[in-house]
């Protein structure tokens, strides 16, 4: 008999609902869930082929362990591996203190998994060294929201796409990275031909090709553009002064700054036409305007400023909290939102509480029934691997992510993993680069097998359900951590019984209670309600019958005086500059049909039809200057590393700019992937690294 199970797609932050067909405990097919408000039955190529990834040949099935680096890992029992890890972690903590251990986790974990990791680190061990690959993804969006609106909460929703008159897409190739949102944009344009679509991107991506106005700015010049648009709006008298006066602070200081950003000056900085800046500003000012943005803004050493400068435009025109208007960050990973909600990062606490706030620390400690939550901020992603490299972190536990592929300056991360006293990798797959550095390898369950919940880009929580059993000895991420935590509690002689969970529902219910009275209050939700009434947006307080489609409809923001704050952002430029030795810009981004490091999508033949192999895209001008022809093999290098791959002529990149997709790793090319070339420098507020840009040279081989 064929069984149908409702769940979600495990790839991007659109959070599409799926219906998984299974038979004899095997996944055999997938279709979009027609009732899920994120996709109404649609799936992109990645989602529609998920069932083809449900196979065993690339799975980790048993725990493995080695006692020395020279030894080969051998299969061991769960008891042996977890007892060993308990003893090793306990000894390290006793000898070197709680901050000598760390957990590096993932925006692909479910909310319940995340909750246990966070509580284990901060509540039991007493370290804030728990960070996640969401640091590489959304942390500048978080700091941008908090600086301006006071809370890490995307104010808009997918419905706003249907009603906006100006869609401002910036730093996002939505057509490839969030395809189902892009389908909705195409529908909105069809239904309303007057809808203006502006795309800001150095590349002429598929998204840019669909735009009414493409602003092909030079890499990293976003803040100059947004300030220039604000200058025009000011000059044209298109600001909403009533909104500014009633609901914001800091406009006068920003006004003084943007006076300098004349269209002429901005055109020179950004490499675009003055007239186009004026057109974009006027379309935006007329509104209602919806901004959609992603890694082009976030993965930058000035990511917080880029986010804030964009939100400034919405505040200055009063285009927020209204139908079809608002800033709307597109979440990269499927559950980067859920991870932030449980506070699963080095500087956050449960339910959007702030680690730096003593009252928040006390609230969480009381909630968990522990003496205190440590005040010292944990190490964020880059800092964490630097600390592993310099020996101050001795043991690192990595779950559901592949830092030996995804971190910038990958060679530095590999050196760190080689230097660590203990590396634990918990993952579903046997084909990821990080596994080779693991002393202990723990097999986890994955999509189609797991249960819990996720939150998508528009704050919508959906239940994730298992269609089939987990294979061999694989275990659920939350269950592995609960088992380890219980053993560690005993070994450290702590009798608090912090981890009594036997189901994900118990974890969800505990998380739910932490949100009471917070901006993301979900005290009105339960597994039962989500199962019966379907996915819901937060906040959804006890007694509510629906969640909030959009936030700040009353003009009251999450700042102490209820007013939003303009941020005086100034244009600064990229971390790496081109020079005589490295004369070309290298940009990174996604392919349409691949996901992250390809551990899952790389096993499906048809997903290579769109892009068969790694290439560096170059302009005709740059190829001609170097006598490079289409398909020639070239060496791409800078001071951090080199890659060897084929050159591809492309009219999507401008002269002096090149592009390599982020997905290809050492399995597909000579070299560690494009992130090996990227600078390990990061935004000082969000600590998010600049993974979108570096300077390179190219030699024909």
**Which residues of the shown chain bind ligand SF4 in the complex (CB under 6 A)?**
9, 11-12, 14-16, 39, 43-44, 46-47, 178-180
Q: Cα angle vertex 58, ends 55, 62, to 5°?
A: 100
Nearer to ligand SF4, 184 or 687 (CB): 184
Residue nearest ligand SF4, Cβ-based: 47
Nearer to ligand SF4, 39 or 257 (CB): 39
Per-residue burial over 535-551, b if 16 or more Cβ lie within 10 Å, else e, is bbbbbbbeebeebbbbb
Nearer to ligand SF4, 102 or 138 (CB): 138
How many residues are given for the chain?
701
Closest distance of CB 431 from ligand SF4, Å: 20
Nearer to ligand SF4, 180 or 351 (CB): 180
At a CB cut-off of 8 Å and minimum separation 6, what does 477 contact?
109, 110, 113, 116, 399, 400, 426, 444, 445, 450
Closest distance of CB 330 from ligand SF4, Å: 10
Tokens of 679: 């600078």
Closest distance of CB 34 from ligand SF4, Å: 14
List C-alpha distances in Å: 478 to 365, 462, 475, 512: 21, 18, 8, 17
Angle between helices 274-286 and 222-235 (to 10 degrees): 70
Closest distance of CB 39 from ligand SF4, Å: 6
Nearer to ligand SF4, 14 or 345 (CB): 14
* Beta bridge partner(s), residue 397: 103, 424
Closest distance of CB 38 from ligand SF4, Å: 7
Closest distance of CB 14 from ligand SF4, Å: 4
- First-to-last alpha carbon distance for the chain, in angstroms, is 57
Closest distance of CB 18 from ligand SF4, Å: 8
Closest distance of CB 44 from ligand SF4, Å: 3
Residue 437 DSSP code: G
Per-residue burial over 468-493, b if 16 or more Cβ lie within 10 Å, else e, is bebbeebbbbbbbbbbbbbbbbebbe
- Are β-strands 196-200 and 422-427 bridged in parallel, bridged antiparallel, or unpaired? unpaired
Nearer to ligand SF4, 86 or 106 (CB): 106
Contact 395, 424 (CB under 8 A): yes
Closest distance of CB 36 from ligand SF4, Å: 10
**Whether the bond into 596 is cis, omega within 30 of 0:** no
Nearer to ligand SF4, 14 or 384 (CB): 14
Nearer to ligand SF4, 330 or 643 (CB): 330
Closest distance of CB 113 from ligand SF4, Å: 18
CA-CA-CA-CA dihedral for 44, 49, 51, 57, to nearest 10: -140
Task: Give the closest residue to 297 by CA, choosing from 219, 401, 375.
Answer: 219
Return the half-sphere exposure (C-beta side, CA atoms, 13 A cut-off) of residue 55: 12
Task: Give the closest residue to 526 by CA, choosing from 546, 543, 509.
Answer: 509
Count Cβ atoms below 10 Å from residue 389 Cβ, excluding itself.
18
Nearer to ligand SF4, 9 or 442 (CB): 9
Count Cβ atoms within 10 A of the Cβ of residue 224 and give its class: 0-12 exposed, 13-18 middle, 19 or more buried: buried
Q: With the C-alpha atoms ordered 617, 621, 623, 629, is the resulting torsion angle positive or negative? A: positive
Closest distance of CB 596 from ligand SF4, Å: 11
Per-residue burial over 140-168, b if 16 or more Cβ lie within 10 Å, else e, is bbbbbbbbbbbbbbbbbbbebbeebbbbb
Residue 608 DSSP code: G
Count Cβ atoms below 10 Å from residue 336 Cβ, excluding itself.
31
Nearer to ligand SF4, 592 or 635 (CB): 592
List C-alpha distances in Å: 106 to 314, 506, 596, 660: 31, 21, 12, 24
Task: Give the closest residue to 11 by CA, choosing from 606, 597, 611, 458.
Answer: 597
* Beta bridge partner(s), residue 113: none
Nearer to ligand SF4, 454 or 564 (CB): 454
User: Torsions phi, psi of 350, nearest 5?
Assistant: -50, 140
Closest distance of CB 165 from ligand SF4, Å: 25
Closest distance of CB 178 from ligand SF4, Å: 6
Closest distance of CB 393 from ligand SF4, Å: 33
Closest distance of CB 10 from ligand SF4, Å: 7
Nearer to ligand SF4, 52 or 323 (CB): 52
Per-residue burial over 653-690, b if 16 or more Cβ lie within 10 Å, else e, is bbeebbbbbbbbbbeebebbbbbbbbbbbbbebbbbbb
Per-residue burial over 235-253, b if 16 or more Cβ lie within 10 Å, else e, is eeebbbeebbeebbebbee
Nearer to ligand SF4, 16 or 616 (CB): 16
Nearer to ligand SF4, 44 or 416 (CB): 44
Nearer to ligand SF4, 129 or 207 (CB): 207
């Amino acid at each position: 008999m064929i069984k149908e199970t409702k769940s979600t797609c495990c790839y991007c932050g659109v959070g599409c609902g799926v219906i998984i067909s299974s038979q004899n405990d095997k996944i055999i097919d997938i279709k979009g869930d027609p009732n899920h408000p994120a996709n109404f039955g649609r799936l992109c190529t990645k989602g529609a082929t998920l069932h083809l990834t449900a196979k065993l040949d690339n799975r980790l099935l048993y725990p493995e362990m080695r006692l020395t680096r020279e030894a080969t890992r051998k299969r061991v029992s769960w008891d042996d591996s977890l007892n060993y890890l308990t003893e090793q972690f306990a000894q390290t903590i006793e000898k070197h203190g709680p901050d000598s251990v760390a957990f590096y986790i993932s925006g692909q974990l479910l909310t319940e998994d995340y909750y246990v990791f966070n509580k284990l680190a901060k509540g039991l061990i007493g370290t804030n060294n728990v960070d996640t690959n969401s640091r590489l993804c959304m942390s500048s969006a978080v700091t941008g929201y908090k600086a301006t609106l006071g809370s890490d909460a995307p104010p808009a929703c997918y419905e706003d796409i249907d009603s906006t008159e100006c869609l401002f897409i910036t730093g996002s190739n939505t057509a490839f990275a969030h395809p189902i949102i892009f389908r909705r944009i195409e529908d909105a344009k069809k239904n309303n031909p007057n809808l203006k679509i502006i795309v800001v991107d150095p590349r002429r991506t598929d998204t840019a090709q669909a735009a009414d106005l493409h602003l092909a700015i030079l890499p990293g010049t976003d803040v100059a553009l947004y300030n220039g648009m604000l200058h025009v709006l000011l000059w044209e008298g298109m600001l909403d002064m009533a909104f500014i006066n009633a609901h914001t602070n800091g406009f006068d200081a920003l006004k003084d700054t943007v006076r300098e950003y004349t269209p002429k000056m901005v055109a020179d900085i950004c490499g675009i036409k003055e007239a186009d800046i004026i057109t974009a500003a006027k379309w935006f000012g007329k509104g209602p305007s919806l901004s959609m943005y992603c890694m082009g803004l976030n993965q930058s050493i000035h990511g917080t400023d880029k986010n804030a400068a964009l939100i400034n435009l919405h505040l200055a025109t009063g285009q927020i909290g209204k139908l079809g208007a608002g800033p709307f960050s597109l979440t990269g990973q499927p559950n980067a939102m859920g991870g932030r909600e449980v506070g699963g990062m080095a500087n956050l606490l449960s339910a959007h509480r702030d680690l730096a706030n003593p009252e928040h620390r006390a609230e969480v400690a009381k909630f968990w029934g522990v003496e205190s939550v440590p005040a010292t901020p944990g190490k964020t992603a880059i800092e964490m691997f630097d600390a592993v490299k310099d020996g101050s972190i001795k043991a690192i536990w990595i779950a559901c992510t592949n830092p030996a592929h995804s971190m910038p300056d990958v060679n530095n991360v590999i050196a760190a993993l080689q230097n660590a006293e203990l590396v634990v990798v918990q993952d579903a797959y046997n084909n990821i680069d990080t596994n080779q550095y693991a002393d202990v390898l723990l097999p986890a369950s994955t999509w189609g097998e797991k249960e819990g919940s996720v939150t998508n880009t528009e704050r919508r929580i959906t239940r994730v359900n298992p269609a089939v059993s987990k294979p061999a000895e694989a275990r659920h991420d939350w269950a592995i951590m609960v088992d380890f935590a219980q053993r560690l509690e005993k070994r450290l002689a702590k009798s608090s019984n912090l981890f009594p969970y036997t189901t994900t529902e118990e974890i969800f219910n505990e998380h739910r209670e932490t949100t009471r009275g917070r901006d993301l209050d979900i005290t009105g939700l339960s597994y039962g309600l989500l199962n019966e009434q379907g996915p819901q947006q937060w906040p959804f307080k006890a007694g509510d019958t629906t969640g909030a489609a959009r936030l700040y409809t009353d003009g009251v923001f999450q700042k102490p005086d209820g007013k939003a704050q303009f941020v005086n952002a100034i244009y600064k430029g990229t971390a790496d500059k081109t020079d005589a030795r490295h004369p070309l810009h290298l940009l990174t981004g996604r392919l349409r049909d691949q996901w992250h490091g390809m551990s899952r999508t790389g096993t499906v033949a048809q997903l290579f039809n769109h892009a068969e192999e790694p290439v560096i895209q170059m302009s005709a001008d740059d190829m001609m200057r170097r006598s490079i022809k289409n398909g020639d093999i070239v060496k791409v290098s800078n001071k951090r590393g080199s890659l060897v791959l084929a050159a591809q002529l492309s009219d999507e990149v401008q002269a002096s700019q090149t592009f390599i997709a982020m997905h290809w790793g050492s399995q597909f090319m000579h070299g560690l992937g494009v992130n090996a070339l990227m600078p390990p420098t990061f935004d000082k507020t969000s600590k998010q690294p600049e993974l979108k840009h570096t300077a390179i040279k190219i030699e024909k081989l």
